[in-house]
Amino acid sequence: MSHSSVDPSAASGRTDFQLAEVSEESERIKQVVVAGVLAALSIAVAPVASMLTRLAGWGIALFDPVSLFWIVAFLIGGIRVGMVSTGAGTIGLFFFDPTGIGPMFKFAATAPMILIPWLGVKKFGRGMGGKFLSRPLRGLAYGNYAVLMIVAFMVRLLLMIPLNLAIVPIIAPFFTPEQIIAYTLTINAFQSVWDAAVPFVVVFPSTVFDHFKMW
C-alpha cells in the first residue's frame, strides 16, 4: 500500500510565502491609509490657513500648516507615503484656490523638504531607513535631519526664486524683481523652519515613528 506524504519543508515554504504576501499587503494598506488621512487633514486645515495673517502686499502667510501634514506623512512612511499625501493634498487644495497657482507653488516648495531627506537616507542611511533622520551627527543631536533640511531649504530657494520671478510679474506686475526675491526669501525661510521643525517633533521625539515602523 502506498502512502502519500507531504514534505514539511515545502509546506513551511508555502506558509512563509503566504505570510510574506499578507505582510506586504497589510503594509501597502497601512501606507495608503496614512497617506490618505494626512492628505485629508491637510485639506481640512486649508480654510483655517486662509484666515492666517498674511505678509503685507504679498498675500502669503509666514506660517502655513498645510504642508506640515505632508512632511509628517513622509517621516512616518517614507517617500511613497509622503509624495502620495502631498499629491493628493495638492489636488484637494484646488477646491480652495481655483486659480491653480497656490497649490502648485505649495507643492513645489514642499517637494524638496521631502526629496532631499529621502535622498540622504538612501545614500548615507542604508539599512536604517527613516531612523537615520533621528541620529546625531558629530555630537549634534538630530544632526542628520538638520543638515539635510538645510540642504533642502537651499534647493527650495533655487527652485522658488526663479519660479516666483517667472509667475508673479504676470499676476502682480507692480512688484519689482528685487521685491519678489526679498519676499520669496522671507516667506520660504519662515515656512521652511516650520516645515522642518514641527513634523520632526511630532514624529521622532514621540513614539509615532516606532509605532508605525513603515520604512
List beta partners, residue 137.
Answer: 140
| List of residues 6+ apart from 209 with CB closer than 8 A | 75, 76, 130, 131, 134, 203
Write the CA distances from 97 to 4, 106, 121, 167, 185, integer angstroms.
69, 11, 34, 16, 23
* Residue 13 identity: G
* Residue 203 identity: V
Q: Which of 108, 112, 117 is nearest to 162 (CA)?
A: 108
Q: Identify whether the C-beta of residue 144 lies closer than 8 Å to the C-beta of residue 124.
A: yes
Q: Tens digit of pLDDT for each residue in 135-159? A: 988 778 889 999 999 999 999 999 9
Q: Tens digit of pLDDT for each residue in 41-86? A: 999 998 877 676 666 556 677 788 999 999 999 999 999 999 999 9
- Residues 11-212, CATH architecture: Orthogonal Bundle (1.10)
Q: Identify whether the C-beta of residue 188 lies closer than 8 Å to the C-beta of residue 62.
A: no
Domain ranges of the chain: 11-212
Q: Which of 15, 31, 24, 12 is nearest to 130 (CA)?
A: 31
Q: How many CA atoms lie within 13 A of 151 on its CB side?
A: 13
Residue 214 has pLDDT above 60, yes or no: yes
Q: Which of 145, 159, 162 is nearest to 205 (CA)?
A: 145
Q: Tens digit of pLDDT for each residue in 4-19? A: 554 555 555 555 555 4
Q: What DSSP designation does 201 have?
A: H
Is the pTM for the entire model greater than 0.75?
yes
